[in-house]
Structure 1
Amino acid sequence: MDEKQRRIVDEAIAIADERGVDAVSMRAVGQRLGLSPMALYPYLRSKDALLDGMVERLLGELITMAAGAGSWQERLRGVARAVRALARRHPGAYPLIMSRPGATAETRRLDDLISEILRAAGVPVAEVARLERLLATILLGFANSEINGRFGAGPAAGDWDSEFDRDLDDEIRLIEEIIARSGAA
């Protein structure tokens, strides 16, 4: 993504965060930049390209935040916290990650990051893809439900951090159990 495309996408993300994804249009982005909508098309050929660019930008931010060292459990927790931090930072734009097809380069990088963590943990190769999908769905879905108010008022006056940590502990135990079973086989 070149600098002009990045600026267009950043403005689209800002619009989504302020007014929701439905408010994002080539016209709205053009107005925000002081350009006609037609001036945007050489950089992003369609609204779909704009929405995909938004997903790429958001996931690129997530992957940068998730980079870390440590045990596989610490790395997985880092990815999980990065997902929630991204959703909180971009509550209007974040739902695009859940609604756009997962065929972008950054989507594959997120899948690869989670898969690499699972392989480092010792998860059997035959189980990595399934567990990656499970983890990605839980992490992305929890954050999406949290920012969209699906959970309502929440436990203990909205203590989602504690609940999320407990859920993540359960996911880690599941992975450890799968690893242990594969060693016993």
Structure 2
Amino acid sequence: MDDKRRLILDQAMALVDERGLAAMSMRAVAERVGLTSMALYPYVGGKDALLDGLVELLHLELGSDDTQEAADIDWRQRLRALGRAVRGLSLRHPGAYPLMLNRPSAGGAWLTAALRATLHDAGVPAPTVPRLTRMICAFLLGYTTGEVTGGLPGTTAQPPDAEFDADLDDLVRLVEVTVRVA
């Protein structure tokens, strides 16, 4: 990624983190980097492209999480680490994070690849891996988006971290059952 583009996207993310997605405009981002709005266009395109760039940044941050590279750990630990990394990203960037559900990004392929590799290592039959990958990805993105937007139904007596960890344990059991019945 070009240094100037990265600076602009970093400042856009900082703006969204500080003031929310509604506060982000080409003008507001330009002011943060000391440029005019028009000077941003060669680097990030229009506002839609800038939003796509925020999703790209989110995926880069998620993909650079050290826990994702631990291929030598048990698949159960890896699945939990992936889930916690996704949740951690949502909590660090609650304003921008919901964009991951409604904006396409080529950078998001790493999550799918990491989940597929984890399921393969667990012994999930190859024809079942894509469906289970979609199911787990939908849970992770849906839960974490609902958590940061207040869209999750009801509350439990458990603290949010404990509830999420219990849900990750349920995903592990789902994978174990899938392997047993295959």
Q: Structure 2 length as normaliser, TM-score? A: 0.92
Letter in 1 for 2:156: P
Which residue number corresponds to residue 130 of structure 1?
A: 131
**Residue 150 of structure 1, CA deviation:** 2.4
Deviations 1:85-115 (A, max 9, x none): 11111111111111212xx232111111111
Which residue number corresponds to residue 35 of structure 2?
A: 35
| Matched ranges for 1:155-166 at <5 A | 155-156=156-157, 159-166=159-166
**Residue 151 of structure 1, CA deviation:** 3.5
Which residue number corresponds to residue 150 of structure 1?
A: 151
Indicate conservation of the 8 Å contact 1:62/1:82, yes or no: yes
Moved over 4 A (4+): none
| Matched ranges for 1:40-59 at <5 A | 40-59=40-59
Deviations 1:22-69 (A, max 9, x none): 222211110111210111111112222211111111111112224224
Which residue number corresponds to residue 176 of structure 1?
A: 176
CA distance in 1, matches of 2:53, 2:111: 15
CA distance in 2, matches of 1:38, 1:107: 29
CA RMSD of aligned residues (A): 1.6
Number of equivalences:
179
Which residue number corresponds to residue 63 of structure 1?
A: 63
CA distance in 2, matches of 1:113, 1:22: 32
Which residue number corresponds to residue 26 of structure 1?
A: 26
| Unmatched 5+ stretches in structure 2 | none
Which residue number corresponds to residue 86 of structure 2?
A: 83
| Unmatched 5+ stretches in structure 1 | none
**Residue 163 of structure 1, CA deviation:** 1.1
Letter in 2 for 1:133: R
Closer, same or farther: CA 122–13 of 1 in aligned 2, 3 Å: same
Which residue number corresponds to residue 98 of structure 1?
A: 101
Identity %: 49
**Residue 152 of structure 1, CA deviation:** 7.0
Indicate conservation of the 8 Å contact 1:59/1:107, yes or no: yes
